[in-house]
Chains A and B, each alone.
Chain A
Amino acid sequence: MTTTAVLEVGRPARPRAAERETRSRTATLLLLLPAVVASLLLFVYPLTRIVVVSVTEPTIGLGNYLELFTDGYTLRVLIRTLWVALAVAVLDLLMAFPFAYAMTVCKPRTRAVLFTIVLIPFWTSALAKNFGWMILFQRGGLVDRFLQATLGIDHPLLGTTPAVLIAMSQVLLPFAVLPLYARLDQIDRRLLDAAQGLGAGRARAFRQVYLPLSAPGLVAAGALTFILALGFYITPALLGSPQQTLIAQLIMARVEQVLDFAGANAIGIFLLLVTIAMLLLSRLVSRHASPAREEPARTESAR
């Protein structure tokens, strides 16, 4: 009796709180609803349909996927795409490392300039960038003339895989510099001084202290550029050659020229699976690259 009485007394406040809670839950749902609907209609459903079509048309089964491995062509294109993506990632790391490193040690004003410069490809229209490269690489263009004059190479760069590689590295360089800079900026430079104080030369301190500490950033930057490079369409379409097709061009050609949706969908899903596999792999590698080297140091200092 007494307990219920206490509850009765406490009651007036409670329904209001409960009511407010349900009202706020409704508000949360209402706020999220448009995005969820948009995502379901414009993303989840279309993507699901892609999967369904790829295994049901023209006949039910994995025929479209089997064809990818047996027609000899698709697999070759995929391997070429993986190679190009890998080369782009390596090129970008080679350029991004000194650039990001300089950003961590230079004056704030220089850093602002470097930041702006690295973001240029990010803000430039994709077509404008590729068109710029086309002008440079074309027959009789500046690069062509330079190569003829210095190395005697009488072959225009436009329409070759190296042209695609160079342009793709420029387009993707910001995606390598930014994560790498984020990591390098966290490295305690006193560790380098300590290594040198203990007798290591500059080169050795860099190799044995700085490089291992920057490894997670290198892995993240490399993985990001690699994954983004896999799906590139505009650059290979404009700067590459039809004989050196990459996978996105293959998908586009299947749809536009042959109207083979099921086949295109199967290639698309295959590309997605490769992308996800690479994403997981890079997570795994970066986990291996970072804590193993850092944890002992941290526990050391905790003691």
Chain B
Amino acid sequence: MRRAPYLSIAVWAVAGFLTVPTLFLVPMSLSGGSTFQFPPPSWSLQWYRNLVEAPEWREAVLVSLQVAAFSTPLAVVIGTCAAFGLMRLGERLRIAGAAALSAPLVIPNILVALALYGTFLRLGLSGTLLGLVLGQTALAIPFVLIAVLARLQGYDRSLTTAALSLGASPATAFRTVTFPLILPGIVAGAVFAFVASFDELVIALLLQGPGNVTLPVQMFNAVVEAADPTISAASTVLVVVVSAVVLVVQIGWTRRSEQRSGSGA
């Protein structure tokens, strides 16, 4: 990079482009005004208070947490089992199976939403919490599957075989050897699944019902219909929470791998 000043300029310009819109959220959320005016005329925590106190916002947060609380574990279990199952197949079948099960990621979101909406309307699931949970789970499973599968493909199977030959029962070998080794994959998958389902809008927009408005839907309505600046507080909280989760996972990860390489040496 030393002989290329243009490259540095281009890179930092792109870096700015990537970060700027997010950076504006924090000062906006602290605005004392009642419009989206920037810079804010005065400072206040009113929008954070509103996020917690206004019934429509509080309920939206609770609905989103509820949906995530069901759909994330569901997706993690189904996706992890499927990854283990796929690993037991031959290579060709495994690739085909992984592609088929992760197809919802490639298909435009709007189409998946449309398909689920049509079916759920017929089954009476539209507008219900169960419908939202099922919809978000469908979208989250591929994330878990891909993360766990990647981890499983990278791990050395002979370690489990060694444990078995040393007298461990299959259950013990799984619990003490296989599981800890693939745990980072499961955690990454869970984080992906959580973020994907917590932030999903298009499906939630179609499947919403009275009392079942998720946070993204409430945020969307806040911008489109009400011009309610509480969205700036909600956005900031979302950005901070998600970054914190990602950061913690990443740090835990590096520490783990450092420990392992330390004990290995």
Contacts and interface: CB of A to CB of B under 8 A. Distances in A.
B201 A126 contact: yes
Contacts of B145: 35
A91 to B, nearest CB: 10
A69 interface: no
Contacts of B81: 31-32, 34-35
A214 interface: no
B116 A173 contact: no
A242 B14 CA distance: 30
Contacts of A264: 114
Interface string A189-233: 000000000000000000000000000000000000001001101
A257 interface: no
Nearest to A167: B21
A31 B88 contact: yes
Interface residues of B, number: 74
A256 B231 CA distance: 23
B235 A268 contact: no
Interface residues of A, number: 75
Contacts of A47: 107, 111-112, 115
B142 to A, nearest CB: 9
B17 A234 contact: no
Given A35-B85, A49-B119, A134-B223, A117 B18 contact: yes
Binding site of A, secondary structure by majority: helix, strand, loop or mixed? helix
A127 B110 CA distance: 16
Given A28-B88, A118-B18, A131 B242 contact: no
Given A38-B78, A42-B138, A106-B1, A173 B22 contact: no
B65 interface: no
Contacts of A31: 81-82, 84-85, 88
Interface string B217-248: 00110011000000110011011001100100
Interface in A100-132: 101-102, 105-106, 110, 114, 117-118, 120-121, 123-129, 131-132
A252 B116 CA distance: 13
Nearest to B6: A98
B160 interface: no
A111 B37 CA distance: 36
A123 B195 contact: yes
A251 interface: yes
Interface stretch (B48-56, B96-104, B161-169, B179-187): B96-104
B224 to A, nearest CB: 7
Given A134-B223, A136-B21, A117 B235 contact: no
Nearest to B97: A32
A245 to B, nearest CB: 13
Contact of A131 (B86, B101, B108, B223): B223
Contact of B18 (A28, A120, A128, A251): A120
Given A35-B85, A127-B216, 16 more contacts: A28-B85, A36-B82, A49-B119, A102-B10, A106-B1, A117-B18, A121-B18, A124-B238, A125-B216, A132-B24, A134-B223, A231-B109, A233-B110, A233-B201, A268-B114, A271-B111
18 contacts: A24-B88, A34-B78, A35-B82, A35-B85, A39-B103, A43-B104, A50-B111, A98-B14, A117-B19, A132-B23, A135-B25, A173-B18, A227-B106, A230-B108, A233-B109, A237-B220, A251-B110, A268-B108
